[in-house]
């Protein structure tokens, strides 16, 4: 029995995980969500910004991380447009170019935000370090035109935005090292306030920056999206996903405990 348990076919585990996700999806179950302080700090900072402030969002993720970061982007952009905070979107990764454009357009359609007045999308520029440093001097030295190739000089919203001095907060939505680039080249050099929303895989690396206040807030993966949706009172994909996620987590915890019990029994038998 123990022997069989220790040598269980991994495909059985895959099936169990699949069922733990599919069944709750079909039943539309929901669990309560508690908001953590790092997510609340991001929300509070944006909430405290006066009308007409500017938030820059870095869509630094690709389709492979869309599941965690797109709901987060949607919730934050909704909040910004509600607060009349202007949004500048950009990306340091080619994969993120269309994702950022789609998300801004989607939320703008839902909220009635106007392109060029409430938000601008700059798109992608290669050379991450040079882009971050260049925007500290002049944004139009790096992005002379927006994603649709309209010169920044012709966009009303950009008339009073030259560099980081006019940007109240940078929110980096990241699946890789981009948050560290923003901290090293933008926070350290230009004293720019930065918050981050990152995938679960890299969130552990970000907590030291939160403790030193190099990040003013941090949203961890799909959980961060669900928490932010709760704060703005608009449950969406993040909230749905976290309820389903709880079942998968219970299964993984159960399997880890079972595996450990079997391991120790087997070791005792061998002794």
**Of 25 and 30, which CB lies nearer to other proteins in the complex structure?**
25
Contacts with other proteins, residue ranges (CB under 8 A): 11, 14, 17-18, 21-22, 25-26, 28, 64-68, 94-95, 97, 123-127, 129, 133, 144-145, 180, 183-185, 187-189, 199-201, 203-204, 208, 211-214, 220-223, 237, 240-241, 244-245, 248-249, 252
Facing residues of 54 across strands? 86
**Of 161 and 242, which CB lies nearer to other proteins in the complex structure?**
242
Which region holds residue 188: left if phi is over 0, alpha if psi is between -120 and 50, else beta? alpha
Nearest residue to 164 (alpha-carbon basis) of 196, 141, 197: 141
Q: Is 187 exposed, middle or buried (0-12, 13-18, 19+ CB in 10 A)?
A: buried
Q: How far apart are CA 45 and CA 30, in angstroms?
A: 28
Q: How far is the CB of 247 from other proteins (least distance, A)?
A: 9
**Of 76 and 113, which CB lies nearer to other proteins in the complex structure?**
76
Facing residues of 194 across strands? 170
Q: How far is the CB of 172 from other proteins (least distance, A)?
A: 14
Facing residues of 88 across strands? 56, 120
**Of 61 and 81, which CB lies nearer to other proteins in the complex structure?**
61
**Of 68 and 172, which CB lies nearer to other proteins in the complex structure?**
68
Q: How far is the CB of 28 from other proteins (least distance, A)?
A: 7
Q: How far is the CB of 71 from other proteins (least distance, A)?
A: 9
Contact 209, 215 (CB under 8 A): yes
């Amino acid at each position: 029995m123990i022997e069989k348990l220790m040598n269980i076919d991994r495909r059985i585990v895959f099936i169990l995980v699949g069922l733990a996700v599919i069944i709750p999806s079909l039943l539309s179950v929901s669990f309560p969500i508690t908001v953590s302080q790092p997510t609340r700090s991001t929300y509070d900072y944006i909430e405290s910004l006066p009308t007409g402030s500017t938030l820059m969002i870095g869509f630094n993720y690709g389709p492979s991380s869309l599941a965690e970061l797109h709901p987060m982007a949607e919730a934050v952009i909704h909040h910004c447009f509600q607060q009349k905070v202007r949004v500048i979107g950009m990306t340091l990764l080619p994969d993120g170019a269309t994702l950022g454009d789609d998300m801004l357009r989607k939320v703008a359609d839902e909220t009635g935000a106007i392109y060029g007045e409430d938000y601008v999308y700059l798109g992608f520029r290669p050379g991450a370090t040079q882009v971050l440093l260049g925007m500290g001097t002049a944004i139009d030295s790096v992005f002379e035109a927006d994603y649709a190739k309209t010169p920044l000089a012709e966009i009303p919203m950009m008339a009073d935005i030259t560099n980081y001095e006019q940007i109240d907060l940078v929110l980096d939505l990241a699946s890789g090292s981009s948050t560290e680039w923003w901290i090293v080249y933008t926070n350290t050099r230009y004293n720019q306030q930065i918050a981050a929303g990152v995938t679960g895989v890299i969130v552990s690396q970000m907590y030291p920056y939160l403790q030193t206040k190099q990040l003013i807030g941090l949203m961890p993966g799909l959980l961060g999206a669900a928490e932010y949706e709760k704060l703005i009172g608009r449950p969406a994909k993040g909230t749905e996903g976290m309820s389903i996620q709880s079942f998968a987590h219970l299964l993984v915890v159960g399997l880890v405990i079972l595996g450990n019990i079997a391991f120790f029994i087997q070791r005792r038998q061998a002794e």
